[in-house]
Amino acid sequence: MAKLYIGKLAYATTDDELKTLFGEHGTVVSAQVIKDRDSGQSKGFAFVEMDSDEAAQKAINALDGKEVGGRTIVVNVARPQEPRTPGGNNFGGGFQPRS
């Protein structure tokens, strides 16, 4: 299986549209437009999983730089997610209020 990153998407692009678009180049295992947690609005990028590296490469060759929904999209192999620090409060986990 190969995971692709799709960037510069039109905000109206749906998971189903991506499945159809990428399905022309191989079997799509999953397609997910990433949305803002609070508003539900698309963040303008997505991840698509293809069933093989060969299908993923076909999709990259065919779709990178292609206009979709009025935007020129970017398609490449997704990098592994960076590890996140717990808490996310920028205090380094050891915040101690002044006494």
pLDDT digits (tens, 9 = 90+) for 50-78: 999 999 999 999 999 999 999 999 999 99
Give the pLDDT band (50/70/90) at residue 45: very high
What percent of the chain is predicted at pLDDT more than 70? 85
In a domain, 44, yes or no: yes
In a domain, 22, yes or no: yes
pLDDT digits (tens, 9 = 90+) for 18-31: 999 999 999 999 99
CA distance 67 to 69: 7
Domain at 21, CATH number: 3.30.70.330
Total domains present in the chain: 1
CA distance 78 to 83: 15
Residue 61: give the domain boundaries. Answer: 2-77
Quick one: tokens of 92? 């380094």
DSSP 80: P
